[in-house]
């Protein structure tokens, strides 16, 4: 089965990963506010996928932004945005 994604998805994903990897702001609410600047639908996608709970659980176990980005919502689920 071939799956094609709209090219804009990759731009959104790139911006999301850049935002997360800078590690400057680790509060879920602030991240969601910044996500709205990336794309209006990104916030609803993150909320639908329980970002607050995932973030809260991840913050206690992931030491660096780079580790988070490799474990975050960046797989096939994120591409369904």
Q: pLDDT tens digits for 60-69?
A: 555 455 555 5
The per-residue pLDDT for 47 is 94
Tokens of 29: 């609410």
- Residue 34 inside a domain? The answer is yes
| Reported pTM | 0.64
- Residue 78 inside a domain? The answer is no
Domain of residue 38 covers 7-72
Ranges 8-12, 20-24, 75-79, most confident: 8-12
pLDDT in tens, 46-81: 999 999 888 878 765 554 555 555 555 544 454 454
Number of domains in the chain: 1
- Residue 77 inside a domain? The answer is no
Contact 73, 79 (CB under 8 A): no
- Residue 80 inside a domain? The answer is no
* Whole-angstrom distance, CA of residue 38 vs CA of residue 64: 22
- Residue 25 inside a domain? The answer is yes
pLDDT at 45 over 80: yes
């Amino acid at each position: 089965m071939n799956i094609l994604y709209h090219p804009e998805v990759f731009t959104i994903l790139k911006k999301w990963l850049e935002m997360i990897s800078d590690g400057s702001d680790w509060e879920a609410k602030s991240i969601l506010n910044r996500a709205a600047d990336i794309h209006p639908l990104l916030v609803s996608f993150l909320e639908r996928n329980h970002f607050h709970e995932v973030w809260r659980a991840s913050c206690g176990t992931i030491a660096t932004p780079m580790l988070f980005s490799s474990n975050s919502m960046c797989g096939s689920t994120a591409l369904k945005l």
